[in-house]
């Protein structure tokens, strides 16, 4: 199983690579469009700002490669946000456009800090192969200041002053707002499910 972890200067690539290698995957951190296009799986990681991330993907010639990729693709943290149409971060940015909606600044109310950082319980909205073996109430590790819109693409939610779309899907593209590589047994199970998806 070859997995391309997209390297574009905005990702937590090493921890994702180690987590996949522990599961037996051949995980390669790369910005090579050919390696990404030919991989059996692609992971789009991310920590940072959406506009910067899209600028880097465009500069490296990776945006059309990602849009054309027709096998399982997983966006992690900022990578999930990039699956949507647009972000309000900074002056705003157009994103990959796989899922309708605008990513907005997280506003959990006056009693909760931003970013949302730490462990939160997951509630399952609907079944999906990637959530097999993940139970309602299992915890995942979050670090984010922006919030994806909650809609038909949402598979699971957390609560942080309101619903947080923790897991989304559009066709062969999934996103998790949390970090599965840092989410202990539930995170490892999710990555294992991703590796075992039919191509």
Q: Report CA dihedral (8, 116, 142, 145) to the nearest 10 degrees.
A: -20
Q: Cβ distance 56 to 8 under 8 Å? A: yes
How many beta carbons lie within 10 A of that of residue 93, not counting itself? 19
**Which of these is catalytic: 116, 144, 176, 181?**
181
Closest among 182, 146, 151 to 167, alpha carbons compared: 151
Backbone phi, psi, residue 180, to 5°:
-65, -30
Closest among 109, 133, 108, 106 to 122, alpha carbons compared: 133
**Cα(179)–Cα(115) distance, integer angstroms:** 14
**Cα(91)–Cα(77) distance, integer angstroms:** 20
**Which of these is catalytic: 132, 148, 179, 196?**
179
User: Is residue 139 annotated as part of the catalytic site, yes or no?
Assistant: no
User: Is residue 176 annotated as part of the catalytic site, yes or no?
Assistant: no
User: Is residue 181 annotated as part of the catalytic site, yes or no?
Assistant: yes
**Cα(162)–Cα(35) distance, integer angstroms:** 40
**Which of these is catalytic: 77, 144, 148, 176?**
77
Q: Which residues are known to be catalytic?
A: 77, 179, 181
């Amino acid at each position: 199983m070859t997995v391309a972890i997209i390297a574009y200067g905005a990702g937590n690539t090493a921890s994702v690579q180690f987590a996949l290698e522990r599961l037996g995957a051949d995980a390669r951190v790369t910005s090579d469009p050919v390696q990404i296009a030919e991989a059996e799986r692609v992971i789009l990681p991310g920590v940072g700002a959406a506009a910067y991330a899209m600028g880097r993907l465009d500069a490296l010639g990776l945006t059309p490669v990602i849009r054309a990729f027709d096998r399982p693709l997983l966006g992690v943290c900022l990578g999930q946000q990039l699956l949507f149409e647009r972000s309000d971060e900074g002056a705003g940015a157009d994103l990959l456009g796989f899922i309708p909606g605008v990513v907005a600044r997280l506003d959990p109310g006056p009693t909760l800090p931003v970013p949302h950082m730490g462990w939160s319980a997951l509630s399952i909205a609907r079944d999906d192969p990637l959530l097999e073996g993940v139970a309602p109430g299992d915890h995942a590790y979050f670090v984010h200041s922006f919030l994806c819109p909650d809609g038909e693409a949402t598979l699971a939610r957390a609560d942080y002053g309101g619903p947080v779309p923790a897991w989304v899907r559009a066709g062969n593209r999934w996103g998790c707002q949390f970090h599965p590589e840092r989410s202990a047994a539930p995170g490892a199970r999710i990555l294992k499910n991703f590796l075992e998806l039919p191509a």
